Chain A
Amino acid sequence: MEIILAIMIGGLYAASVYMILRRSLVKILIGIVLLSQATNMLIFVSSGITRGNSPVIKAEETVLSQPHADPLPQALVLTAIVISFGLTAFALALTYRAYKSVKTDDLDKLRSAALGGEENV
Chain B
Amino acid sequence: MTNLLVAPILIPMLFGILCLLSFKSIRLQRILGFVGTIVLFCASLGLFFLTLKHEILVLHVGSWPAPYGITLVSDLFSAIMQLLTSIVGLAVGWYSLAMIGEQRTAFGFYALFHFLLMGVNGSFLTADIFNLYVWFEVMLISSFVMMALGGERAQMAGALKYVVINLISSAIFLAALGILYGIAGTLNMADLAVKFSQIDSNSSRALISALAVLFLAAFGIKAAIFPLFFWLPASYHTPPAAIAAVFSGLLTKVGVYALIRVFSLIFLQDTGFTHTLILVLSCLTMLIGVFGAMVQHEFRRVLSFHIVSQIGYMLMGLGLFTPLALAASVFYIIHHILVKTNLFLVSGVVEYLGKTADLNKLGGLYRSQPLLAILFLIPAMSLAGIPPLSGFFAKFNLIKTGLLESQYWVVAIALIVSLFTLYSMIKLWNQAFWKPAPPLSQDVPVVQEKVLCKPMILPIVLLASLTILVGVGIGPVFEIAMRTGMQLFEPARYITAVLGGL
A residues near B, CB below 8 A? Answer: 20, 25, 28, 32, 35-36, 38-40, 42-43, 46-48, 70, 72-73, 76, 79-80, 83, 86-87, 90-91, 94-95, 97-98, 101-102, 110-111, 113-115, 121
Task: Find out whether the CB atom of A39 lies under 8 angstroms from the CB atom of B171.
Answer: yes
Task: Determine the distance from Cα of A73 to Cα of B145 in the docked complex, in whole angstroms.
Answer: 30
A99 to B168, CA, bound (A): 21
For residue B351, CB closer than 8 A to chain A, the reply is no
Which residues of chain B (166-211) have a CB below 8 Å from chain A? 167-168, 170-171, 174-175, 177-179, 181-182, 185, 187
For B171, give its contact among A35, A46, A110, A113 (CB under 8 Å): A35
Contact A115 B181 (CB under 8 A): no
In contact, A110 and B160 (Cβ under 8 angstroms):
yes
A43-B174 Cα distance, complex, nearest whole Å: 8
- In contact, A98 and B174 (Cβ under 8 angstroms): no
Instruction: Name B's A-contacting residues (CB within 8 A).
Output: 130, 134, 137, 140-141, 144-145, 148, 151, 153-154, 156-157, 159-160, 163-164, 167-168, 170-171, 174-175, 177-179, 181-182, 185, 187, 230, 233-234, 301
Contacts of A98 in B (CB 8 A): 156-157, 159-160
Query: Which residue of A46, A70, A94 contacts B148 across the interface (Cβ within 8 Å)?
Result: A94
**Is A97 within 8 A of B233, CB to CB?**
no
A-B contact pairs, 10 of them (CB 8 A): A20-B168, A36-B171, A38-B171, A39-B178, A46-B178, A83-B134, A86-B141, A94-B163, A97-B151, A121-B301
Q: Are A83 and B137 CB-contacts (below 8 A) given A28-B164, A46-B179? A: yes
Answer whether A76 and B175 are a contact pair too, CB < 8 Å, given A101-B153, A114-B154. no
* A35 proximity list for chain B (CB < 8 A): 167-168, 171
- Distance to closest chain A CB from B136 (angstroms): 10
Smallest beta-carbon distance B189→chain A, Å: 16
Contact across chains for B234 and A121 when beta carbons are under 8 A apart: yes
Does A94 contact B160, Cβ atoms closer than 8 Å? Answer: yes
From B178, B185, B234, give the contact of A43 (CB < 8 A).
B178
Identify the closest chain B residue to A110 (Cβ): B157
Query: Smallest Cβ distance from B357 to chain A, in angstroms?
Result: 12
Which residues of B sit under 8 angstroms from A97, Cβ to Cβ? 148, 151, 156
What's the Cα separation between A114 and B151 when bound, in Å? 12
Assuming A76-B130, A87-B167, A90-B145, is B160 touching A25 (CB within 8 A)?
yes
Contacts of A86 in B (CB 8 A): 141
How far, in whole Å, are A90 and B77 apart by their CA atoms in the complex? 33
Which of chain A's residues have a CB closer than 8 A to the CB of B174?
36, 39-40, 43, 80
State how many angstroms separate the Cβ of A112 from the closest Cβ of chain B.
Answer: 10
Is A32 a contact partner of B164 (Cβ separation < 8 A)? yes
On chain A, the residues within 8 Å of B157 by CB distance are 98, 102, 110-111, 114-115
Q: Which of A36, A72, A83 has the most CB of B within 10 A?
A: A83
Residues of B within 8 A of A36 (CB): 167, 171, 174
- Asked whether A90 and B141 contact (CB < 8 A) given A36-B171, A46-B178, A46-B179, the answer is yes
**Beyond A97-B148, A101-B156, A115-B154, is A46–B234 a contact (Cβ under 8 Å)?**
no
Contact of B144 among A90, A110, A111 (CB under 8 A): A90
Question: Separation in Å of the B107 CB from the closest CB of chain A?
Answer: 13
The answer to whether B181 touches A72 (Cβ under 8 A) is: yes
Which residue of chain B is the closest to A75 with respect to CB atoms?
A: B130
Write the chain A residue with the least CB distance to B155.
A114
Question: Do residues B178 and A94 form an inter-chain contact, with CB atoms below 8 A?
Answer: no
Contact yes or no, B141 A87, CB < 8 A: yes
Per CB-CB distance, the 4 closest pairs between chain A and chain B, nearest first, are A114-B157, A43-B178, A46-B182, A98-B156
Which residues of A have CB within 8 Å of B233?
Answer: 121
Residue of B nearest to A77 (CB): B178
CB distance from B172 to the nearest CB of A (A): 8
Known: A42-B175, A121-B234. A101 touches B185 (CB 8 A): no
Contact indicator B153/A114 (Cβ below 8 Å): yes
B65, chain A: closest CB distance, angstroms: 16
| B473, chain A: closest CB distance, angstroms | 39
The answer on a CB contact under 8 Å between A102 and B168 is: no
Docked-complex contact A42 and B234, CB < 8 angstroms: no
CB distance from A42 to the nearest CB of B (A): 5
Give Cα A35 to B163, complex, Å. Answer: 14
Known: A32-B171, A42-B175, A121-B234. 15 other contacts (CB 8 A): A20-B168, A28-B164, A32-B164, A36-B167, A36-B171, A38-B175, A39-B174, A40-B174, A72-B181, A72-B187, A87-B137, A94-B163, A98-B156, A113-B153, A121-B233
Q: How far is the CB of B118 from chain A (nearest CB, A)?
A: 15
| Contact residues in A for B185 (Cβ distance below 8 Å) | 47, 70
Nearest CB of chain A from residue B363's CB, rounded to whole Å: 20
Q: Is the CB of A94 within 8 A of B141?
A: no
Tell me how far the C-beta of B129 lies from the nearest C-beta in chain A, rounded to whole angstroms: 11
Complex Cα spacing A42 to B171, Å? 11
Which chain B residue has the least Cβ–Cβ distance from A70? Answer: B185
Q: Which residue of A lies closest to B145 (CB)?
A: A90
Select from chain B the residue with minimum beta-carbon distance to A32.
B167
Q: Which residues of chain A come closer than 8 Å to B154, judged between CB atoms?
A: 114-115
Residues of chain A lying within 8 A (CB to CB) of residue B168: 20, 32, 35
Measured between beta carbons, the chain B residues less than 8 angstroms from A101 are 151, 153, 156
CA distance A98 to B153 in the complex (A): 8
CB of B160 within 8 A of CB of A73, answer: no
Tell me whether A39 and B181 are in contact in the complex, defined as CB-CB below 8 angstroms, given that A28-B164, A32-B168, A90-B144 are known contacts: no
Residues of B within 8 A of A42 (CB): 175, 178-179
